[in-house]
Amino acid sequence: MKEFRLDLWKPQEYTYEAAYGFMPNIHAYLHDEDDSPRKCMIIAPGGGYCMLAAHEGELPAMEYYRMGLNVFVLTYTNDITMCVPLKRQPMEDISRAVRLVRKNATGYNIHADKLLICGFSAGGHVCASLCTHFDDITDPDPELNAISNRPDGAILCYPVITSGKYTHIYSMQALLGYEPTEEELEYFSLEKQVSENTPPCFLWQAADDFAVPVENTYLFADALREKRVPYAHYVFPRGGHGLSVASDEMFAGWHGGEYVSEQLERALEHIKAGTEVNMNEKRHAELMKQFFSDEDSTPPTPPFDPSAPNPFEDVHSWLMLSRIWFERFL
């Protein structure tokens, strides 16, 4: 397997105020045993637009890698301080990632016209934003702008979709700030933005999701159906939020893929030093308690019994179902 990191932007192109030296990037997992072009996927982890969850990056990347795809994990712009609204930046990050991967299709041994994106939670919102707004995004690099940023399909895993009644409020606050305009709320309420050109989508979620209401996937699926966009929609009875691949490997205490936490780590250094950008005292105190207090209110995680049956084996099946789905049209 060939692994590498590629920054998405040139320094003069990336101006997000609360980056703290971070640069959005992709981490590649490429097959190197032959030169056969493969389908590819870009994965966007979740984290409420405040951070990125490692288990929603490398774990699904390796699952799809073992299916034969060449895979990239996207570390897009996020902000733990929630003090500098992200606006369009995460959407522009994934747009740039799609164009860069397609530009280098020969070197990466991929089919440029068989490119999927896969997002979890807020990462699902990043992916669905590109699916609905790809025509709106002009890349500052003329060569890249000439390359399509429309994905050939999207897998949306317990995604944030709406800014309305069933929204995940913290994701929307990190994305748009505490006083968004009606136009911004409408633009990023993605069930309202589906068109006939939206690419095919595979959606799944648990009915008992305690963070992002299951209505999010229903709203998006209904919008896809109305526009006659091909889609699949699976709702599992149990699973809550954030199950990622729901595999035995994950429940056994898997660790890895911490590279997606780079911007968080850089921000925390500034928070501890009191040099963060535009942060009010209340949010500063919250983060100091969350990350730098000796108090640990998190209950211990019970050890996983490898001999016990996987309690979410049905949820784990979403990977197989998604493969069956995209093999039909890619």
Distances (CA, A) of 146 to 12, 116, 135, 254, 286: 20, 19, 12, 40, 44
pLDDT-derived band at 298, boundaries 50, 70, 90: low
| CA distance linking residue 45 with residue 94, whole number of Å | 12
234-250 pLDDT, tens digit each: 999 999 999 999 999 99
Q: What pLDDT score does 77 carry?
A: 98
Q: What pLDDT score does 250 carry?
A: 92
Q: Is the pLDDT of residue 299 over 70?
A: no
∠ CA 100-51-207, nearest 5°, is 100
Residue with tokens 């898997």: 254
Q: Is 102 left (phi over 0), alpha (psi -120 to 50) or beta?
A: alpha
* Domain range 2-296+312-327, CATH architecture: 3-Layer(aba) Sandwich (3.40)
199-210 pLDDT, tens digit each: 999 999 999 999
Q: Is the pLDDT of residue 301 over 80?
A: no
Q: What stretch of H or E contains 281?
A: helix 281-292
Mean pLDDT of the chain, nearest integer: 95
Token readout for 129 is: 């934003």
321-330 pLDDT, tens digit each: 999 999 999 9
**AA letter at 78:** N
Average pLDDT over residues 152-173: 98
Token readout for 255 is: 């660790």
| C-alpha torsion sign, points 185, 188, 194, 197 | positive
Cβ proximity of 257 and 73 under 8 Å: yes
Q: Is the pLDDT of residue 310 over 90?
A: no
> Around Cβ 64, how many Cβ atoms within 10 Å?
24
Q: What pLDDT score does 294 carry?
A: 80
Whole-model pTM?
A: 0.96
32-41, 67-76, 95-104, 182-191: least confident range: 32-41
Q: Is the pLDDT of residue 61 over 60?
A: yes
| CA distance linking residue 25 with residue 261, whole number of Å | 12
pLDDT-derived band at 302, boundaries 50, 70, 90: low
| CA distance linking residue 20 with residue 83, whole number of Å | 13
Cβ proximity of 128 and 154 under 8 Å: yes
Q: What pLDDT score does 130 carry?
A: 98
Average pLDDT over residues 84-92: 98
Q: Is the pLDDT of residue 296 over 60?
A: no
Q: Return the DSSP state at 307.
A: T
Q: Is the pLDDT of residue 35 over 90?
A: no
Domain locations along the chain: 2-296+312-327
| CA distance linking residue 157 with residue 47, whole number of Å | 13
